[in-house]
A and B are shown apart, each in its own frame.
Chain A
Amino acid sequence: MSPAKWDVVVIGAGPGGLAASIAADKAGASVCLVEREARPGGILKQCIHDGFGLVRFGRKLTGPEYAFLDIEEVKGRGIKLFTETFLLDLDRSEEGFVLTLQNSEEAVFRLEAKALVAATGCRERTARQVFIHGQRPAGVYTAGTVQRLINISGYLPGKNCVILGSGDIGLIMARRLTLEGAKVLGVYEIKPEPSGLTRNIVQCLEDYNIPLHLSTTVTEVHGTERLEGVTVCRVDENMRPLPGSEEYVPCDTLVLSVGLIPENDILHPLGVEIDPRTGGPVVDQLLATSEAGLFSCGNALHVNDLVDYVSESGEIAGASAARHALGDYRPPRHVPILAKGEILYAVPQRLDVSLGGQGILYFRAARTLTDAALVISAGGRVLGEKKYKSLRPPEMERIVLDLSLVPAGEENIVLELRG
């Protein structure tokens, strides 16, 4: 098991990892991409609907088409790709990192990397994680599982479906289930407004006369063997169930689209600093984590609403990892970004002010706002300002900051959103 040595190893060949490996290769680093599934592309493989790529490619692509463009480039560049390969252990070494992996062909083997990009994506929140009660019948699935069953395996999980959560995946699955012959009885959303894009409300629900119930949630599942029905219940302004408003809806399938959680389990042993608000690592504008040489991108960094931004962060992380591996490393001078006002979270969480150039900042509003203003300042001096006609928490905002404007010696940079 003598380890093969690479400048950069990218973990995960979804859109973030594909973009990272391409960027690292472009920057002149030797790159290797590790994927646990049989094919690259990540979750895009099962996102057969369109709407991807408007920002990055200027046209509307389906998920597989979007992935295809990057996969072709990875292949064209001769980037080494391990598929059906599972990371067993990640450790520090003198020169960087050592990865222990397994697959069917090579059994157990090691890779050494000077720099690492963790592009491990996210997982779905489950029924129990949103505290739905009852027994545990068959027929309760997360939206991603339903998507995989229908689009990859070719099975309809049920015929009469209730969907909890109006996020885009939930809406897309409402249409998909309907087109494949299932009846979608309704989409229930605990919040007073839908979480998904208006476009999806129109084209996935209204086109098919699927009702959307706001301020309503599922509190209980019924049935022991197969799901027989769910209890739906209206909620108050604090999203607590209103007693007496319970209603029984007979159905054989409950589809949950109740949130995504960045997956960073492989980083735990290294003690990487995690931001509790995003669930991903704390990073600077290079997407460098608290662990030197380790970079994060995509939905593992924070849950994105557009794959185009996942790719963009992959490109940044890949290029940064290559620079680090090729020896262009100076100790950073980090200044924290303080998110104030109506900001849910902002990424990156700090800036390396020893670098010039531009920094891309992403943020989400904590609630729906109209005529909002974002002000970036340091030491009382305004560095940038942007006005928004409307802001919604599901939609991520992106701004570019000219780092040369940051005055030397500032303790922090303030990002403030006023409603």
Chain B
Amino acid sequence: MSRRKFMGLAGGALGMAAIASMGVAGWAANKLEIDPEALEYLENETDVLIIGGGMAGLFAAVKAHDAGAKTLMVSKGRLGSSGETPFAKGIFAYDPSTTEMSLDEFTDGVSRSAIGTNNPIYTRQMAEHSLDRVNELREWGFFDSALYNKSFSKPIEERNIDLLERIVITNLIKENGKICGAAGFSLDEEKVYIFKAKSVVLCTGAGGFKPNGFPICDLTHDGTIMAYNIGAKVTGKEWNDGHPGQATNSAACFDGWHGMFERVPSVESVGIRHDLGVDLNYMAYTNGNPVQMGPPGASESKKVVGGPYVPAEFSQRGPDKHDDGPKDGPKDGKHPRGGKPGEGGKDGEAGSPPGMGGVSVGGSSAGMAIHKSEGLVPINDKCESTIPGLFAAGDALGSYMAGAIYTQIGSSLAGSAVQGGIAGKAAAEYSADKKIPNISKTKIKEIKEEMLAPLHRTEGYSPAWVTQTLQGIMIPNFIIYIKKEGLLKAALAYIEELRDHHIPMLKAADLHELRLAHETVNMITTAEMKLKASILRTESRCSHYRLDYPETDKENWQAWINIFKGEDGRMKFEKQAFDSWPASGKPLEYI
């Protein structure tokens, strides 16, 4: 008997629980591990509440604090070790002293590659402030280690900013038309938290459908959906991040990235591209498997006709490295049309030899849109959402900084840092003349009941199974990537079934499963948004490709799609013209 087995026996009940949690059972009685009635209830007060502990959250907390606000940071994971931040290894810095391109030229270049889908104000803002943020990061030791917790902790500890980790926020709280806090529960202690805050900055990242091959399984659009639920406008759900994964051991994101997670971060300079779209998906759709990346030129033998449009200026792939961490894709298998695959991994490291990608499969980032093209709709350049006091930064903000296609390597990390800083400062300024809001007892009771409901269900469906079913519906290439109306509607029928019949029956036996239950709800809501927005957008552009509408429609679709919850609780849509801020217009009718 090994020590492990011995300890398993010693663990007794715990071990059994582990086994039980592994099973993906469709229907089973809910054997509770904790007593939901005995949960402790805690209240906290702060000026600015930062939700999320990644790059955006870091700068939001630091800059809110530096602007004089009492700041509290709360994260589902650990500072610098959750979301996508830990895996992003390239950060863009626009250095005016070494860059020939002016800020305006850079912004215009991005707009051309993004076919107008970017918000030039945010594009320019990212570049303008990037060097300052990079310099601060350097001071904190960010570039000295492959792991970010230490460098992120430095400014937080120096400033004595309150930090609560492993708290799952499930609800944003709005009363009298304004944000007044958030609620969540601890994963480790049996505690429910209510945070009263003058303003909230969502730094919750974007998300996916817990896809395999990408380290985003803790990102399930939580912030976006929480904000949507209290009436915020969100955007960008039709876009896709087209990262492929490897066919062998598709689930192993560490191995699929050939050691990149172990690299220390580096600074990227200007180089505008048109990346992470769905061209490989189109190639796989038309030609079938295997989609294998050969040496440069090898793929010319199998010409692909049609497919996503790439502006001529950006279709010639340079030989530059393509290594921005997961934010930019595995180095292999990313350049479908005669492009040069980047360097492979180190020799002998799980996969392809240098310069030769292995067989690729799609969907490794399924459910995620291009960085910063999805999330809360900003009403100005201060990362402010449509709800007073609610801000968002980084991938949680639909700023369209890069547009609906990825345009600058390392800009996602830089953009998160820049927007975090701006949102934090703006939230502090907003909070300056406000009082700590009061949250009514009825509201708190209502939220608590909703939050803990899966623990109270004696029968129902396990979140793991519902998520797996959702993945089966959404991830196929012919649903989420290579779209056509019939199949989008077919998938929508399934999603509506999950929404109407399965969400109300999600059960959880412990706090881990309670987290999964909430994540599952957020993913299902996101799936509905993605399908409906994709049906609405009857054109193809950037990372949205409709087989039945393959052309870019510059007459009707020079616009983003905003999504919001109507008075009747139904999902509503509106167009917001590119280059404009949201205005309350007539909602689009979804058929």
Answer yes or no: do A and B interact. no
